[in-house]
Structure 1
Amino acid sequence: MSPLAGISSAYAPRFAEFAFEPAFTAAVDQHVAEIRERLAATTPGLIPRPPHREDLADYAIGFLDALTEIDWREPVGHDYAVCRLTAITWLVRHHGLLQGG
């Protein structure tokens, strides 16, 4: 399974929390913006261009490796890693990065 597919499968259920957790929603939105900026997936216009699937997958692998190194375990609530992984999932879903392969 690709890293993006695995992350999306695990963190897409967190989207349901957006309806009743506005702080979580805002945090994920900030993480989406930071990931886009890190991957240079922005353009001068108001609508950022979608990230490249390969770039996001490479970023996700590096992030997962870092979590493994610190022996991270998913908490019940929301920490930095949960927000980041949910943001990766949002980008994957929003831009259809799993479609066509």
Structure 2
Amino acid sequence: MSSAAPLTPLVEIARTYAPRFAEFAFEPAFTAAVDQHVAELRDRLTVGGPGLVPLPPDRETLTDYALGFLDGLAETDWAEPVGHDYAVCRLTAITWLIHHHALIPPQRDH
């Protein structure tokens, strides 16, 4: 198994949900919901830093969380809706954390 294998869930989530960032420009309710999910994930996955500035999430911890979340979605036969539900907001928030904290290396096209 290659060393990149643990990144796969984060890479796939980011690849799938990063295009949703474009919706922030015209969907303020979606933007606010994702922001709330980011805050909840930070509270759940990180310890506050100096001055109450949130620390970046640990890549392994976020990967473990994402895998568990995806497993839960699979158990319920979740399918991505046209709009935004809890899962879309949560997955977009995970993607925001991935991008904001550069948790995966840049992907190169071969």
The normalised TM-score by structure 1 is 0.94
Task: Say whether residues 1:9 and 2:15 are aligned partners.
Answer: yes
Task: Say whether residues 1:66 and 2:97 are aligned partners.
Answer: no
Query: Which runs of no fewer than 5 residues in structure 1 stay unpaired?
Result: none
Question: Following TM superposition, by how much is the alpha carbon of 1:48 offset from its aligned partner in structure 2, in angstroms?
Answer: 1.0
Q: Percent identity?
A: 71
Displaced runs of 4 or more, over 3 A: none
* In 1: Cα distance, 2:36 partner to 2:58 partner: 19
In structure 1, what residue type is equivalent to 2:103? L
The normalised TM-score by structure 2 is 0.86
* In 2: Cα distance, 1:31 partner to 1:44 partner: 22
Paired residue for 2:62? 56
| Aligned-pair Cα RMSD in Å | 1.6
Q: What's the secondary structure of 1:45's corresponding residue?
A: helix
In structure 2, what residue type is equivalent to 1:53? R
Task: Say whether residues 1:95 and 2:108 are aligned partners.
Answer: no
Query: Which runs of no fewer than 5 residues in structure 2 stay unpaired?
Result: none
Question: Following TM superposition, by how much is the alpha carbon of 1:47 offset from its aligned partner in structure 2, in angstroms?
Answer: 2.5
* In 2: Cα distance, 1:40 partner to 1:50 partner: 7
